[in-house]
Amino acid sequence: MTRPRRVGVLALQGDFREHLAALRACEVEGVPIRLARDLDAVDALILPGGESTTMERLMEPSLRQAIGLRTQAGMPVMGTCAGMILMAKRVEDGRGDQQPLGLMDIDVRRNAYGRQVDSFEAEVESDAIGGSGPAVFIRAPQVTEHGPEVVPLASHAGQEVAMVQGKRLALAFHPELTPDRRWHQYFLSLDGERR
């Protein structure tokens, strides 16, 4: 089974350092991605948690385009929290001008958990990680609709919180903020399984 050898992490804003550390723990080289040409050096990409509107604003049009083209060509991509929002086709309750990358056939609602519970940790169970594991939710998005090619992998309190479409993986929570590396390992396995 092949695994990506070098994995890019969008490094414009948010917790990209935690993803780079998680990749190190998985013994894979992580590469910070800021410009379109940085993508040439990697064979998979992670869009981190943070603030999706800020990341969109800081993203050069050429990088945006390169991510779209590489993804269409089969590059595995994982988006966590704000990264999931970036992967969506449509964002509800975004700032009117929010333009996600449209990498997966999902619609999301930002900050969908009310104020009272806007951040929490829960145990989330999934065959993808062979059991249950800790999941940190911070002003997390919810998926309101998805297309038939999107396969739900985990849910919490009646909400789907992890899903995969081909080699694209979206998580509403932050696997990079726990020491549990199974979601990263699952992402790294997608390339070999679904070539």
Interface residues toward ligand GLN, by CB under 6 A: 49-52, 81-82, 85, 110-111, 138-139
For ligand GLN, the closer of residues 12 and 191 by Cβ is: 12
Residues 134, 190, 76, 160, CA torsion sign: negative
CA 138, CA 173: separation in Å to the nearest integer?
Answer: 7
- Shortest Cβ 33–ligand GLN spacing (Å): 17
For ligand GLN, the closer of residues 97 and 127 by Cβ is: 97
Annotated catalytic residues are 81, 174, 176
Per-residue DSSP letter, 43? S
Backbone φ and ψ for 27, nearest 5 degrees, come out as 60, 40
Residue 114 CB contacts under 8 Å (≥ 6 apart), including other chains: none
CA 191, CA 167: separation in Å to the nearest integer?
Answer: 6
For ligand GLN, the closer of residues 14 and 76 by Cβ is: 14
- Shortest Cβ 119–ligand GLN spacing (Å): 8
Residue 27 CB contacts under 8 Å (≥ 6 apart), including other chains: none
Residues 166, 167, 170, 174, CA torsion sign: positive
Residues 174, 45, 111, 88, CA torsion sign: negative
For ligand GLN, the closer of residues 31 and 112 by Cβ is: 112
For ligand GLN, the closer of residues 173 and 186 by Cβ is: 173
Q: Which residues pair with 135 in a beta bridge?
A: 122
- Shortest Cβ 43–ligand GLN spacing (Å): 24
- Shortest Cβ 65–ligand GLN spacing (Å): 21
- Shortest Cβ 160–ligand GLN spacing (Å): 17
Using alpha carbons only, how large is the chain's radius of gyration in Å? Answer: 15
